[in-house]
Amino acid sequence: MPYEIPAPMLAKSVPEVPEQDAATGGFSYEPKWDGFRGLVSWDGETVEIGSRGAKPLTRYFPELVEAFSRLLPEPCLLDGEVVVPRGEPGSQRLDWDSLTQRIHPAASRVTMLSETTPAMFIAFDLLARGDRDLQSEPFEERRAQLVELVAGLPHPIHVTRTTRDAAIARRWLNEFEGAGLDGVIAKPLAQPYAPNKRTMFKIKHARTADVVAIGYRIHKSGRGVGSLLVGLYDDGGTLRNVGAVSAWSDKRRLELVDELAPLVETDESGAALTGEGEKSRFSAADRDSSFVRLRPERVLEVRYDQLEKNRFRHTVQFARWRPDRDPASCRFDQLEAVSAYDVGAVLE
């Protein structure tokens, strides 16, 4: 029987890479891979890939299932990240869009994508080996066992690199973003594995941008603004949807409906005009993706961490309204350019 897959250990955000602290046992720093969290159970016969959520990933990555069953030298329970690299060797970066496309209901398409956009697995923890449960062991020991078990295996199984030098971790934070990674993780060396607990620390890029409000979705409760859609102008003067702002309080959601009412686009009868947004592959099929369209006249400042193909990689955070800004000045060229970096170099 496969190992029981626990809930993954989580990380809480901190503003900067923490310095080593001998009193607490110190830290191990590693790159923060931007993919699907995967807990891999291999009992010698069956492979299962559990996710951070309730959706198992096993059926979506047959090439990884085959690799685990062929390459893993003994039964084990791994914690890591499923990622998809794209590009030529020497200029590869992680491709989030290609990764999300791998979640598809049709078996034929899953098979096709496993060949055209194959994934790789980045292992960063070992929870069990043989009949030995390692979760109560300190991370320093689990890491040593992981390296002994997996480090010599060929692609597509890799072990993430680590350092105990905070200065190197800060350099990774800047350099590795160019390969599609989204930060650095600091793991206390002396701590056991803590399922569903935020005992690690994550450091991600924090940036701001001035964007234009272009629409809003109604909250799932049916009352108030659930998310505010925002856009930026490209070089040709076209306003592009780049993401959404959410996480409003109940009170603020209702206030925003009134505040934004003067900007709502209407037809000749005075009815609000709506648009249809993109749906996530992880959203329910019947989830309403429509939004109320707004005239692009109001600017807000948002906090974001990463850009992926001219869209904010994650939901952005509201910082403040910017009544002093002309919407036409909210362009892509205000965003910080990131130097390219090869995924292969991160794995070295």
The number of beta carbons lying within 10 Å of the beta carbon of residue 209 is 23
- Separation CA 175–CA 150 (nearest Å): 26
- Antiparallel, parallel or unpaired: β 120-129 and 157-159: parallel
- Antiparallel, parallel or unpaired: β 27-31 and 184-188: antiparallel
- Separation CA 313–CA 304 (nearest Å): 8
Which of 12, 32, 204, 279 is the catalytic position?
32
- Separation CA 73–CA 84 (nearest Å): 24
- Antiparallel, parallel or unpaired: β 10-13 and 93-94: unpaired
- Asked whether 121 and 82 are in contact (CB, 8 A), the reply is yes
Phi, psi angle pair for 202, to nearest 5°: -120, 140
Phi, psi angle pair for 122, to nearest 5°: -105, 105
- Antiparallel, parallel or unpaired: β 93-94 and 47-50: unpaired
Tell me whether residue 32 is one of the annotated catalytic residues: yes
Which sequence positions are flagged as catalytic?
Answer: 32
